[in-house]
Chain A
């Protein structure tokens, strides 16, 4: 390709990098820390709440806790608030389970215009799909490996 007016690809990658505004790593990490920390603290509150006022144990309380966090995330997503929080918080809102709920809710809401079956149903897992697929597959491999290793008497 004749690009005698322009730099080569390598030269250009270098140039483009120089002009790219640096991502504010420290600022983003501090924000992610606070946002993620607060969300997990809220989760801890739910955990305590369900154990204290209902008949849940340390282990079983995680079920209503997770469900509560998901409902909150769904509402924040539906009211158009979650994406603004996320621009500030970055990984702080993506990493907790609220992020998972946000991916499903936002996709579901977005594709309603294509109908409930093909639109909502067919697109709901557009962004969450990788997490489920790789979580399940990784768990499968890890479990098999662990069982084999135990059977062979190493553990």
Chain B
């Protein structure tokens, strides 16, 4: 059901029945390693290319989440998935393996919440009994496509971020036990002229702020409604800018509530500069860490605002700035 200008409210409160999170060796050393279902010590996952490894991560996350939900692949009506690869090959090839009717999405690093919003809408509207939503990213494959070869000796600036090697998947159901998807706010594409692909945080912050403001307006809420509001991967730099932009609109979100998945995931690890990024960043933190905290009763109402930078290597070379988008999904768990 439409709520306000650009949001949906899910009257039937679809359930996040099960989630699964997979990661690579660097994620195994992260602050939230305990919340991963699968961790690999080899960035190749035994495959012959980074791209194949990313596909395998996505497949593992999907298959594990289906298993944890107590279902079979055949029980799921639709699969929503996105990633950062050209033509979203990781998602498409995973869809081939799963054999579930497939919606391929591109929202860059906002894909996790774009997928969850759509999956929840479809289930809520009676368009599916079960829907699967997922996304993935891989440090090697992303560097190869967007930046430099892995072994190239460039000096990353302090605004750069580290792409998460991982995948997160969630099964959304009409009934069952689990945190409920209450609503979603779909973001507009915002571009305030940032051209530096090594400062994605600054590029994406305005989009996150635009969507948060739209969410509060459409649902007639303020920050006090939530125990946690997490942006996807703004990183230290982008997150600080977002807090500033919100303050200028008179919105002050307390620091213990306002966080960022990119900052959370790699706390204390230096080579990540401003923090984590990639589709998997928001997915692994939300479907792993936050999901577990909700089940433990530590969090009741959570707003996840996944942020994506919609540039391509070509657009950057053609001197275009970086348009960005952010999608927000509200989750609630009142306990069993």
Contact = CB atoms under 8 A, between A and B. Distances in A.
A and B touch in the complex (CB under 8 A): yes
Interface of A: 3, 5-7, 9, 12-13, 15-16, 19-21, 23, 28, 77-78, 80, 82-83, 85-87, 89-91, 93-94, 99, 102-103, 105-107, 109-111, 113, 126-127
Contact of B153 (A5, A16, A78, A102): A102
A27 to B, nearest CB: 12
B151 A82 contact: yes
The 5 A-B residue pairs whose C-beta atoms are closest, nearest first, are A86-B153, A113-B49, A110-B149, A106-B151, A21-B158
Contacts of B244: 15, 19
B190 interface: yes
B210 A106 contact: no
B73 interface: no
A106 B241 CA distance: 35
A6 B210 CA distance: 7
Contacts of A83: 150-154
Interface in B1-55: 48-51
A105 B240 CA distance: 38
B237 A19 contact: yes
A93 to B, nearest CB: 5
Contacts of B192: 3, 6-7, 9, 12-13, 16
Contact of B154 (A13, A15, A21, A86): A86
Contacts of A127: 148-149, 152
Given A87-B155, A102-B153, A106-B152, 11 more contacts: A5-B209, A7-B245, A16-B202, A16-B241, A19-B202, A21-B159, A77-B151, A86-B154, A93-B153, A105-B151, A109-B149
B241 A19 contact: yes
A87 B271 CA distance: 9
Interface string B148-177: 111111111111000000000000000000
Interface in B265-314: 271
A13 B194 CA distance: 7
Contacts of A20: 158-159, 199, 202, 237
A94 B153 contact: yes
B153 A113 contact: no
Nearest to B251: A5
B144 A6 contact: no
A89 B144 CA distance: 22
Interface string B182-206: 0000000010111000010010001
Nearest to A8: B192
Contacts of B152: 83, 86, 102-103, 106-107, 127
Contacts of A126: 149
Nearest to A108: B149
